[in-house]
Amino acid sequence: MAQLVVHHDKCIQCGLCVSKCPFAAMSMDSGKVEINAACKMCRMCVRNCPVGAITVEEEKVEAIDKSLWRDILVYVEHDNESIHPVSYELIGKALELAKPVNMKVAALMAGKNIKEKAQELLYSGVDRVYLYDDEELETFRVDVFANVFEDCINTMKPSVCLVGATTTGRSLAPRVAVRFKTGLTADCTSLEMRENSDLVQIRPAFGGNIMAKIINTKCRPQFATVRYKVMNAPEMLSEKQGTIIERPVTAEMKKSGIEILKVEKKAKVSSIEEAEILVVAGSAIKDEKGMEMIHEFASLLNASVAVTRPMVEKGLGHVNTQIGLSGRTVKPKLIITCGVSGAIQFTAGMKDSELIVAINNDPNAPIFELAHYAVVDDVFTLIPSLIEKLKGAR
């Protein structure tokens, strides 16, 4: 990685670098040039320095012995009652990645009184479960759980660490990755493993217009977070396999800068990720009256209602029901899109649905390229007639 270096012994304190910096990233402090975090490495200072006192130098990165880092570690998220489904999806993908390169899959589980719950993981195909069971782990505190995660990595030395892209995972994963001075790719939609153990991490970039392939060739472990409903969970085994390794939670690991004053359980609300049938309202729905029609149609199908991003921006839908790169990823048995054009930012969040029915009056709508059934019709003509037929059938 390149960095700017100021050679103070050459600097004549002319101030040109400070005045020419377009990002106000340079200043003169006690006769010395200082560079702050606003620097964008545009190198204007290098080009304008009359005595060559500022240079660009490549930071030396020591090559890592990849053979010392083996296997895949999956962080298992839970609420002390049940394991989050994304954890099983990650285990399923990890087993798929590990097989061609002869690796094994391990799981990390931390909490209070979770030994029995950890036993369930032995039906998933993992080789071992690292269990951290302690009173202090009853409530999630990110610094304590980062200490636990760090201990597990130091013990196991995994080549890859997979974490769910949940609220918890997005908080925890970067904190652990930075401790090992390694990279982290967030919200991956696909993962591939190379023969040399480099993980190809694939995710949408530039607003979903391209799929970027990111590879961490110099550091270990390789960190990636993956959204819920993107991967497939493994088929559960009829008998247990693997072992549970209980790890001690030391006083040092329990140290925290976070004080928990009160814990309140959130009321469980229905989530579009869990819905088996979804009806999606797109930009063709212009007002509340149109949304009432969509909700009536959905209720007759025992379906949940979801929306596209423009609908949220118009105030016709809640962000929690938004599908796409900036919303939720879903994989229902049936999804019916109503007046949705099918921009890649939306389709990235629902392309793996089992059955896609698209209704749009534009025969060239991009959504039809993805749909299993394409209906070219006006939603305000078709949906009311379907509502009447469904009412009659009932």
- Over its length of 394 residues, how does the chain's per-residue pLDDT go in tens digits? 678 899 999 999 999 999 999 999 999 988 899 999 899 999 999 999 999 999 998 877 677 889 999 999 999 999 988 999 999 999 999 999 999 999 999 999 999 999 999 999 999 999 999 999 999 999 999 999 999 999 999 999 999 999 999 999 999 999 999 999 999 999 999 999 999 999 999 998 877 678 899 999 999 999 999 999 999 999 999 999 999 999 999 999 999 999 999 888 877 777 899 999 999 999 999 999 999 999 999 999 999 999 999 999 999 999 999 999 889 999 999 999 999 999 988 998 999 999 999 999 999 999 999 999 999 999 999 999 999 999 988 7
pLDDT score for 154:
97
pTM for this structure? 0.81
pLDDT score for 314:
94
Provide the β-strand partners of residue 211: 204
Q: In the chain, what are the domains? A: 2-58 (3.30.70.20), 66-254 (3.40.50.620), 277-393 (3.40.50.1220)
Residue at token pair 């999956």: 74
DSSP E strand stretches across 190-318: 190-193, 199-205, 210-215, 222-226, 243-246, 277-281, 304-307
Under a CB-based contact definition with an 8 Å cutoff, are residues 278 and 334 in contact?
Answer: yes
> What is the distance between the alpha carbons of residues 264 and 280, in angstroms, rounded to a whole number?
32
| Backbone angles phi and psi of 360, in degrees to 5 | -160, 140
> What is the distance between the alpha carbons of residues 169 and 162, in angstroms, rounded to a whole number?
10
Q: Is the dihedral of CA 259, 261, 263, 269 positive or negative?
A: negative
Q: Residue 164: which of 244, 79, 84, 243 has the closest Cα?
A: 84
3-state secondary structure of 194: coil
Provide the β-strand partners of residue 203: 212
pLDDT score for 294:
97
Under a CB-based contact definition with an 8 Å cutoff, are residues 285 and 170 in contact?
Answer: no
pLDDT score for 393:
80
> What residue type is assigned to position 162 of the chain?
L
pLDDT score for 61:
65
Under a CB-based contact definition with an 8 Å cutoff, are residues 245 and 153 in contact?
Answer: no
